[in-house]
Amino acid sequence: MPDFRNLIATQDSPFVTNLKAAGAIVIGRTNTPEFSFRGTTDNPLHGRTFNPWNDWASAGGSSGGASSAVMSGMGAIAHGNDIGGSLRFPSTCTGAATVKPGLGRTPAYNGSQAAERGILSQLTSTQGVICREVRDVRLAMQCAIKYTPLEPWQVDMPWDGPVHDGPIKVGFTQETYGCEMHPAIQDALNVAQEALTDAGYIVEEIDVPNMLEIGNEALRTLFGETKALTGDIIRKHGSAEFNTYFDHCYDIAPPYEGDELLAAYARRLSYIREWLLVLDRYPLVLTPFLLQPTFAHARDYEGREGAEDIMLKGFYSYSMNFMGLPAGNVSANFNNGLPVGVQLVGRRFREDMILDACEAIETLVGVMANRLFEIYG
């Protein structure tokens, strides 16, 4: 009788194994911030990752190293994961393309982990890729989703879903819930709306569930689980600057604890239900991603205001993780020489439909990496 526990513990990451089996060649590892918990990429061990467009801007995080490597031409596909925006933040900052897979789409098993992750991390963190253009994201994802029994949440589903009957309706929201939205974001949404309409989609402005409320619930629940399971480790091994930042995050979104945390887990289902009703009528929803263009490299370390500017106002990002919904990002505009991204949310297991819409926007706007290479050679 084989020792299944030992067999499981010695397995490589199935996500990476799937890519290698399809012919991918691993050439290196890329940089992330401390504990992968920032919207920019810097750490005391390896230092700062630069945005390839200029040395002022953030490369995003936590997969900032992955995004910068792809956009600067080091490789065609970069692996990253997303528990609150870690694929989409860096893609938006650098002009790359990505889709955050929904719950159950890709394997997330890590054979080197010392213990299983908390339940919210299991439900919200997904493995994905960052690429220079949408077609590469599609190709990589088609390879990466191969089923493995090592990942209990994964569902063995084909990449392409059923063909939609008639024009696809896209819901469109630009609601900010009282937060200020930069004009460049508004312009990007308008361009994306135009591109989708030109491509044959029917775009209608709609009301969606309160994203600021869902985002706040997502943060408080995530911080509650983090504080309970890894809080001591962060305090012990995190830098002084990082711990100060984390104090600001806890102040902005106080962690749920005890019965409050359990109740928040339960409320999560109602938010998912509300969004599934929206997606039943509109298979895709176009939203802002961030309410501002690419920010300065260390904006989140500029006191409580800086942390709030990145953390609190990213509610269109981490709310999608909280609900386990797939969401893609693609650039739709330029502001001061930097790309500006938008987000497309889709039905569960319809990452294919999301990328089709992203490609329609990319066709109108152009591949950002091509513009980057033209400028800097």
pLDDT above 70 covers a percentage of the chain that reads 97
Catalytic residue among 36, 72, 86, 319: 86
Tens of pLDDT, residues 81-114:
999 999 999 999 999 999 999 999 999 998 888 8
Q: What is the mean pLDDT of residues 16-39?
A: 95
Task: Compute the distance between CA of residue 252 and CA of residue 51 in angstroms, rounded to an integer.
Answer: 27
Does residue 313 surpass a pLDDT of 60? Answer: yes
Residues 6 or more apart whose Cβ sits within 8 Å of residue 318: 83, 84, 85, 215, 218, 219, 222
Residue 269 CB-density burial (10 A; 0-12 exposed, 13-18 middle, 19+ buried): exposed
* DSSP letter for each residue of 31-61: ---GGG-SSS---TTT-PPPPTT-SSB---S
Instruction: Report the domain count for the chain.
Output: 1
Give the CATH number for residue 34. 3.90.1300.10
Residue 4 has what pLDDT?
Answer: 46
Is 86 assigned a catalytic role?
yes
Residue 9 has what pLDDT?
Answer: 52
Does residue 233 surpass a pLDDT of 80? Answer: yes
**Among candidates 56, 10, 33, which has minimal Cα distance to 337?**
56
Q: What is the mean pLDDT of residues 273-299?
A: 97
Catalytic residue among 13, 36, 58, 62: 62
SS3 138: helix
Is 58 assigned a catalytic role?
no
Residue ranges making up the domain that contains 133? 4-376
pTM for the full model?
Answer: 0.96
Tens of pLDDT, residues 65-83:
999 999 999 999 999 999 9
Question: In the predicted model, what is the mean pLDDT of the chain?
Answer: 95
The CA-CA-CA angle for residues 358, 360, 361, to 5°, reads 65
Q: What is the mean pLDDT of residues 219-238?
A: 97
In 3-state terms the chain splits into helix, strand, coil percentages (rounded to 5) of 45, 15, 40
Q: What is the mean pLDDT of residues 327-349?
A: 97
Tens of pLDDT, residues 139-186:
999 999 999 999 999 999 999 999 999 999 999 999 999 999 999 999
Residue 311 has what pLDDT?
Answer: 82
